[in-house]
A and B are shown apart, each in its own frame.
Chain A
Amino acid sequence: MIEVENLTKTYGERTAVDHVSFAVNKGEILGFLGPNGAGKTTTMRILTGFMPATSGTARVAGFDVAKESMDVRRHIGYLPETPPLYPDMTIESYLDFVARIKNVPAADRARSVTDAMRKTNLEDRRSELIKRLSRGYKQRVGIAQALVHDPDVIILDEPTVGLDPKQIIEVRNLIKGLAGSHTIILSTHILPEVSMTCDRVVIINKGKIAAVDTPQNLTSQLKSGQKIRLEVQAPEAAIRGTLTQVPGVSQVHVEALPSSDRSIVTIETAQGADIRSEIAAKIIASGWRLFELRGVSLSLEDIFLELTTDDASHAQQPVN
């Protein structure tokens, strides 16, 4: 449904998107994961026909985004980072306007608007002014706007940003419900969001694709690189010496806690091994006092570092 090949966008000296290629199948939900400034929004804007690419091609629903922009726009629904709302309009009149500019035939318009409101649970507030709505409702109107013309492809730029946890779950369920009949790309910088909603994930960093994978593979990759954090009362040197001997431990960091005789220990483990119980046993056997032991998942930044290790540019901080 979407084919992107060698897409590049430069702003003067800076390359925002650097030879990005990926494909999305019909009915799939693709997650775009990356820190702020990674090039997610720029890629989406190129796909929606908002801005042209510097080089490379992209096809949406069989149409070239550069040469057949109008056809692409007819087949795409797009929610930008800030929902494009007119505060003085009611929900219904706003969706009616969007249906008009998306070329929904007059005969189908009322039905399309009602459908979009039903899918996003807005029907009971249809005649309310948009400026009186809460953040969560505004976001829902933004999503309704993206699907009012029943497009083949829906592109959502950070659809859950700024919502409270309950609203986030609602929006995620809504997006999952849309899959199948629509092909969806959504961007996020929240890792769990991707594993909960997406079929496939594109990890993008500094304009380059770092990985394309299913959330399952990504999560197992995460588990394999788990860290363990301990709070122990013991001499520093002894901790390091003893714990390094536990099989599966690759690295041990010890840091003394100020104003106490305890230490914070961070252990990096080798691939695939869960050695938490072994470590606990070792500490007890050594006669030390254990205050805390927990597994720490790799943060998004750690994954980026991991995925871009052989990339010379990984030392740079992501641009915000």
Chain B
Amino acid sequence: MQSFYAVYRKEMGHYFVSPIAYIFIGVFLFLAAYFFNYFLTVMIQQSFSMEMQGMRFGMPPEIDVPGQVMRGFFGLLSTLVLFFTPILTMGVYAEERKRGTMELLMTSPVTETQIVLGKFFASLTLFMLMMLPTAGYVIFMCLHSDPMPPWRMVAAGYAGVLLLGGSLIALGTFISSLTENQLIAAVLTFAAFLFVWVLDLGSNADGGIGAVVQYLSVIRHYDDFTRGVIDTSALIYYFSFIALFIFLTVRSIDSMRWRRA
């Protein structure tokens, strides 16, 4: 536990001593805020024009502005996550390998699992710190909207973001452990993300295979969360995904001992 915490603490220090974390979180929040504002404006305008039409023709149609904004907002967060996570994870192991500090970690009384978990949770913490301020946008909307967006939907949405982020971090750090070059790690990670993202697009095929491929897409399960549905199969999917890649990372680190370096 002490060793796990030492690695975790070192990683967090690395993020916040250098400008990495501040630039990263700053740019993310700027983009998220811009698009949130955009969604809100568009939805409000739409609902106004719908209401006008309703007054003219009677029977104003129901439009759930807060719900629609939240769905759009969580959809946007997932897209930003797709672009930001490779940058977050590219250096996690690649940089250590390049600097030779991996040799320090691997000759210290620390297990591979402690190293991998320490780094994973440090990245996840930074990810959560990045997401936390976006709750401010949601709270702002809640204060001014009637009806309020259903809190279950907000909670489920954030749970989805967290699980999606965790999965992509696990995958990204695994790829980072395969190379010494951060750029290669980032490009491969982005490609891998896109692949698991669009898996369900190619799954129009009927029958068993289509269903399996669809189940493997990271974003299909995320959609459930943005609708406020927490499905057990989605939870199992994300936790297995994270566990699988953490396991593979541990194996990958261990294999460095056998490679010629």
Question: Contact at B14–A88, with CB atoms within 8 Å?
Answer: yes
Are A51 and B10 interface neighbours, CB within 8 A?
A: no
Q: A48-B107, A50-B107, A145-B104 are in contact. Are A103 and B99 (CB under 8 A)?
A: no
Closest to B118 in A: A101
Which 5 pairs of residues, A with B, have the shortest CB-CB distance?
Answer: A100-B6, A84-B104, A84-B101, A101-B108, A48-B107
Contact with B along A24-68 (1 / 0, CB 8 A): 000000000000000000000000111110000000000000000
How many chain B residues sit at the interface, stated as a range, is 20 to 34
A178 interfacial by beta-carbon distance below 8 Å? no
CA–CA, A166 and B100, complex, Å: 26
Known: A50-B107, A81-B100, A103-B109. 5 other contacts (CB 8 A): A51-B258, A73-B109, A78-B103, A100-B9, A101-B3
- For B2, what are the chain A residues with a Cβ–Cβ distance below 8 Å? 100, 103
The range of chain A's interface size is 20 to 34
A85 to B104, CA, bound (A): 9
Q: Is the beta-carbon distance between A85 and B10 smaller than 8 angstroms?
A: no
Q: Which residue of B lies closest to A77 (CB)?
A: B107
Main secondary structure of the interface of B (DSSP, over half): helix
Bound: A52/B111 CA distance, A: 15
A292 to chain B, nearest CB (A): 46
- 1/0 per residue, CB under 8 A from A, across B92-108: the answer is 00000001111111111
- What residues of chain A have their CB less than 8 Å away from a CB belonging to chain B? 11, 48-52, 70, 73-74, 76, 78, 80-89, 93, 97-98, 100-103, 145
Report Cα–Cα, A83/B14, bound state, in Å. Answer: 18
With A84-B101, A97-B10, A100-B2 known to touch, is A74 a contact of B258 (CB < 8 Å)? no
B18 within 8 A of partner (CB) = yes
Query: Are B99 and A102 neighbours in the complex by a CB distance under 8 Å?
Result: no
Closest CB in chain A relative to B12 CB, distance in Å: 11
Q: Is the CB of A102 within 8 A of B109?
A: yes
Known: A88-B14, A102-B109. A51 touches B6 (CB 8 A): no
Q: Mask for B13-44, Cβ within 8 A of A = 1, else 0?
A: 11001100000000000000000000000000
Offer 5 A-B interface pairs, CB within 8 angstroms, sorted by A: A73-B107, A78-B107, A83-B100, A97-B9, A103-B109
B109 contact from A52, A70, A81, A145, Cβ within 8 A: A70
Q: Known contacts being A52-B258, A82-B100, A145-B104, is A101 close to B17, with CB within 8 Å?
A: no
